[in-house]
Homo-oligomer: A and B are copies of this chain.
Amino acid sequence: MAKLMEDEVFMAFTTYATIVILKMMLMAPMTAYHRITKGAFANEEDVTLKPAEERKKLLRTDPNVERVRRCHQNDLENVVPFVVVGLLYALTGPELSAALLHFRIFVGSRIFHTISYVGAFPQPCRGLSFMVGLLTTFSMAYRVLSTVLVL
């Protein structure tokens, strides 16, 4: 195994990054589920098994599908920066306790964000969980740039 995987901070990063990426990947099956149960497809080849007169009606958007897709998009916009900044942050050699705090808060905030978004919880549930995730990533980026800066 690579030397990196003997470092506890890097192992913690590996664990939380994998968990939050898996969470993000689950949005795709969730979209598929809503597309099928609500009958709202995006491609003509997805509805060829249906009776010809129904096909056109099935090529539509559905509020539930769009909600899950917006949540997925928000994940892409936030989880990917976390993974990149988190990887570099783990390599700067922070304290294990500080690193765990960042990783746990981020992953927790994104899980709560998904629940708030998909469940349409009243604001500021979704807004706050989004902000917490953003600030956690900013905090790691600050540590990275204040430790390593070669311009």
Contacts and interface: CB of A to CB of B under 8 A. Distances in A.
A55 B141 CA distance: 38
Contact of A145 (B18, B80, B141): B18
A151 B7 contact: no
Q: Is the interface of A mostly helix, strand, loop or mixed?
A: helix
Interface residues of A, number: 61
Interface in A1-42: 1-5, 7-8, 10-12, 14-15, 17-19, 21-22, 24-25, 27-28, 42
A62 to B, nearest CB: 14
A21 B81 contact: yes
A45 B14 contact: no
B77 A28 contact: yes
A92 interface: yes
Interface in A79-128: 80-81, 83-85, 88, 90-93, 120-123, 126
Contacts of A150: 8, 11-12, 14-15
Nearest to A151: B15
Interface string A36-62: 000000111110110000000000000
B28 A122 contact: no
Nearest to A99: B150
Contact of A76 (B2, B67, B76, B126): B76
Contacts of A21: 81, 84-85, 141
A132 interface: no
Contact of A81 (B24, B49, B121): B24
